[in-house]
C-alpha cells in the first residue's frame, strides 16, 4: 500500500510539472521579468494541486543553478539568452524535479541538443542494480561527443519524502562511485553541459535557503520564523519571497535570514556560475527505478 501511495503521489507531481514545462515557451521570453516568471510557475504548481519543492530557478547564460528572484528583483530575460528553468513540485512530500533549457540564440542549439541527448542516453541504461558510474559514463560520453564538457561538480540526486538530496548522487562525469540504483528508488537525473571548463563556482549572492536547525533561534522572532519555515516547508528549500505572510515589525525578513544563516540555523545556496563564464545548458527529469526500466515522470 505504501509503495502504491508514493508512486501515485510522485506521478501526480510529475503531471503538474510536465504541464508547466509545456507552458514555458509562452511564459519565458526576452524582456519578461524573472520575478514574474518565478511567481507564475510557482502559482501554477499550487493551482495544479501540488506545492513547490523549491523556489523556481531561472539561470541565465553562464549561471548554472540556484538563481531565483528576490523581492523587488528587476532583472529580465535578455535577448539572445540561454535560459535554464528548474522546477520542483511535491505532493505530500513526494517530489518531482525537472528542468529544461530554452535558447534564444541559435549559436547554442548544438549544446542544447547535446544536453538533451545526454539525458536520454542516461535513461536508457537505468534499471535495478545498475551502477551509477555507468549512468555517469553515458552522460559524459554524449556531451563530450558533441564537443562540449559536462559540469563535474553538479550532480543528479536521489529523492526522498521532503528530502531533495537523498544520499546517492548521479555525477555527470565518469568515476568509480559506490552507489547502485535499487528498485523503487527515485532519482533526479540532470546533466549540465558547457562550452567553458566544466566546473562551477559559488557567487556571493544567495537567494535560496533551507532549514538546518529547527530549535536554534536566539530571539522570540527568530524562533517564530524558524517554526513558520518548518510548518510550511519542512526542510525543503525556500526563498525570501515565500515569507511575505510572516509579520515583521521593526526588522526586515532579509536581515533575520542573514542572521540565521550566520548562526547556522539556516543553510544558504549561493548562486552558481561556470568558473570561466562559459554558457551552461541543463536538462532534468525525475525517474522511479522499476524492474522494467525507469518510470519517467516528465517529457524531455
pLDDT on residue 246: 86
Q: What are phi and psi of 238, to 5 degrees?
A: -145, 175
The pLDDT value given to residue 1: 42
**Residues taking part in catalysis:** 86, 97, 157, 165, 190, 284
Cα–Cα distance for residue pair 168/219, rounded to 1 Å: 36
The whole-model pTM stands at: 0.95
What residue segments make up the domains of the chain, in order of their start?
2-202+273-296, 206-271
The answer to whether the beta carbons of residues 154 and 192 sit under 8 Å apart is yes
Question: Count of alpha carbons within 13 Å of 244, Cβ hemisphere only?
Answer: 6
* pLDDT value, residue 247: 74
Pairwise CA distance, residues 60 & 78, whole Å: 9
At residue 3, the pLDDT reads: 60
2-202+273-296 CATH, one of 3.40.50.2000, 1.10.10.10, 1.10.940.10, 3.90.230.10: 3.90.230.10
Q: DSSP labels for the chain?
A: -HHHHHHHHHHHHHHHHHHHHHHHHHH--TT-BHHHHHHHHHHHHHHTT-EESSPPEEEETTEEE-----TT---BPPTT-EEEEEEEEEETTEEEEEEEEEES-GGGHHHHHHHHHHHHHHHHT--TT-BHHHHHHHHHHHHHHTT-EE-TT-EEEEEBTTBSS-S-EEESS------B--TT-EEEE--EEESS-S-EEEEEEEEEEEES-TT--SSHHHHHHHHHHHHHHTTS-EEGGGGTTS--SSS-HHHHHHHHHHTTSEEEEEEEEETT---EEE-BEEEEEETTEEEE-S--
206-271: CATH class = mainly alpha
Same fold, 2-202+273-296 and 206-271: no
pLDDT, tens digit only, all 300 positions of the chain: 456 888 999 999 999 999 999 999 999 999 999 999 999 999 999 999 999 999 999 999 999 999 999 999 999 999 999 999 999 999 999 999 999 999 999 999 999 999 999 999 999 999 999 999 999 999 999 999 999 999 999 999 999 999 999 999 999 999 999 999 999 999 999 999 999 999 999 999 999 999 998 777 788 889 999 999 999 999 999 999 999 988 777 788 999 999 999 999 999 999 999 999 999 999 999 999 999 999 999 999
Amino acid at each position: 500500500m505504501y509503495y502504491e501511495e508514493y508512486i501515485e503521489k510522485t506521478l501526480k507531481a510529475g503531471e503538474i510539472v510536465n504541464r508547466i514545462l509545456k507552458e514555458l515557451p509562452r511564459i519565458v521570453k526576452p524582456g519578461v521579468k524573472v520575478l514574474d516568471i518565478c511567481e507564475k510557475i510557482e502559482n501554477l504548481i499550487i493551482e495544479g494541486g501540488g506545492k513547490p519543492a523549491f523556489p523556481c530557478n531561472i539561470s541565465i547564460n553562464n549561471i548554472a543553478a540556484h538563481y531565483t528572484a528576490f523581492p523587488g528583483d528587476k532583472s529580465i530575460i535578455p535577448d539572445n539568452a540561454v535560459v535554464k528553468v528548474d522546477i520542483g513540485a511535491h505532493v505530500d512530500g513526494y517530489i518531482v524535479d525537472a528542468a529544461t533549457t530554452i535558447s534564444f540564440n541559435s549559436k547554442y542549439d548544438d549544446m542544447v541538443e547535446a544536453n538533451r541527448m545526454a539525458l536520454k542516453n542516461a535513461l536508457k541504461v537505468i534499471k535495478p542494480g545498475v551502477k551509477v558510474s555507468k549512468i555517469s559514463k553515458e552522460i559524459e560520453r554524449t556531451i563530450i561527443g558533441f564537443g562540449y564538457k559536462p559540469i563535474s561538480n553538479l550532480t543528479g540526486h536521489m529523492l526522498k519524502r521532503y528530502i531533495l538530496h537523498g544520499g546517492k548522487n548521479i555525477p555527470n562525469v565518469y568515476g568509480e562511485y559506490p552507489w547502485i540504483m535499487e528498485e523503487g528508488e527515485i532519482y533526479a537525473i540532470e546533466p549540465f553541459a558547457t562550452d567553458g571548463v566544466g566546473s562551477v563556482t559559488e557567487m556571493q549572492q544567495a537567494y535560496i535557503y533551507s532549514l538546518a536547525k529547527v530549535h536554534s533561534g536566539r530571539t522570540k522572532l527568530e524562533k517564530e520564523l524558524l517554526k513558520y519555515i518548518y510548518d510550511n516547508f519542512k526542510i525543503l528549500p525556500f526563498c525570501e519571497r515565500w515569507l511575505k505572510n510572516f509579520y515583521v515589525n521593526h526588522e526586515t525578513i532579509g536581515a533575520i535570514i542573514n542572521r540565521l544563516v550566520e548562526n547556522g540555523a539556516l543553510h544558504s545556496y549561493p548562486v552558481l556560475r561556470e568558473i570561466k563564464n562559459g554558457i551552461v545548458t541543463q536538462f532534468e527529469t525525475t525517474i522511479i527505478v522499476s524492474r522494467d526500466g525507469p518510470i519517467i515522470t516528465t517529457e524531455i
